[in-house]
Structures are given as C-alpha cells and as structure tokens.
Amino acid sequence: MNGKKKLWTAAVLFATAAGLMLLPQHAASHPSRGSIITQAAADESVPAYHAQAPQGELPATMNPELFPDPVVQNAYTVAAKIKKTLYREPCYCHCDRSQGHTSLLDCFASKHGAGCNICIGEALYTYEQSRKGKTSAQIRAGIIQGEWQSVDLAKYQQPLPAK
C-alpha cells in the first residue's frame, strides 16, 4: 500500500510540475488584453458597403413623420431621396457588426438611424455631397476620411424644402 501511495504522489507531483512548465509558455504566446485592443484598433477596416450600383429594388426608408426630432426627420427625408447612394456607403457606427447592416441605407430602412448621430451625420454628408455632384466613390472616400463629422446639424433643425 505504501508503494502505491508513493507512486500516486509522484504522478501528481509530475503532472503539477509539467503543468507549471507549460503555463509560462502558454501565457507568453498570447498577447495581453491591452495589446489585443490596440491590435484590433490598428486592424480597423472600412465597414460594409456595396461597391456596385444596386440591382433591383431597394428597401424603403422609414417614414420621417415617425420621429419627433427635426434633424432625424430631415435625415430620413434625405435618405429616401438618395437611397441608391446610401446603398454604396459604409457606416462608421459599425452596425454591420452589431446589426448585420450591409450599408448606410440599412440604418434608415430601420429605426437604427434615429438614435445614432454617426448615421445621421453620414446621411446628411452624403446628401450634401451628392447635391454637389460627387460620385458614390468620392463620397465614400470623404466618409472614410471622417469628413462627415463637419456637417452642421444646426441647419437641419428646420424642415428641408420639398423638392
């Protein structure tokens, strides 16, 4: 019995020692949580969008009258006017990851855009740039560079003229 006890103790000690030897190697092979976040930020990619013009019918945007805020109403109003362009633009709130959206248009085919200043800013930027004659690719480049952040939302506090 004494021999079995010694053998059992030796096996446990050997397994513990082997586990301790592997532990530092395992920890060293995985980056710390802080570096994962840093690496993820460095690997940031452009959110989902469609590079080509839409084939077929696009989803309807939500009725602007459903929203009491005038800026939100205006964002949904212009979204309805520029659906083909919004279809080809990314959305930097990254709703492609959290909501499964495939472009900025999806934000306004749902209530999501109403509660997101990024979506609203990007839609109004897209509207302004499309009125200046910019292509979808040119607008996308501006969105990627963050130019949408310069949109003056104060000028959208009043209803837009019907055109």
Which one has a higher pLDDT value, 27 or 44?
44
Taking 80 as the threshold, does the pLDDT of residue 104 lie above it?
Answer: yes
d(CA 41, CA 35): 10
Nearest Cα to Cα of residue 132 among 70, 64, 82: 82
87 and 143 belong to one structural domain: yes
Q: What six digits make up the tokens of 26?
A: 């395992």
Same domain, 106 and 147: yes
% of the chain at pLDDT higher than 70: 72
**132 and 70, same structural domain?**
yes
Residue 130 in any domain: the answer is yes
Same domain, 75 and 148: yes
**Average pLDDT value for residue range 14-25:** 44
Query: CA–CA separation, 9 vs 85, rounded Å?
Result: 72
- The residue segments making up the domain with residue 12 are 2-42
SS3 content of the chain, % helix, strand, coil (to 5): 65, 0, 35
Domain count within the chain: 2
In a domain, 96, yes or no: yes
Q: State the pLDDT confidence band at 160, using cuts at 50, 70 and 90.
A: confident
Does this model's pTM top 0.95? My answer is: no
Instruction: Indicate if 145 and 76 belong to the same structural domain.
Output: yes
My answer on whether 71 and 129 are in the same domain is: yes
111 and 80, same domain (yes or no):
yes
- Cα R_g (the chain), whole angstroms: 27
Is residue 107 in a domain?
Answer: yes
Answer yes or no: do 80 and 144 share one domain: yes
* 73 domain residue, yes or no: yes
At position 157, the amino acid (one-letter code) is Q
The band of 159, judged by pLDDT with boundaries at 50, 70 and 90, is confident
* Residue 57 falls inside a structural domain: no
Shared domain check, 73 and 33 = no
In a domain, 23, yes or no: yes
Residues 6+ apart with CB under 8 A from 85: 126, 130, 136, 139
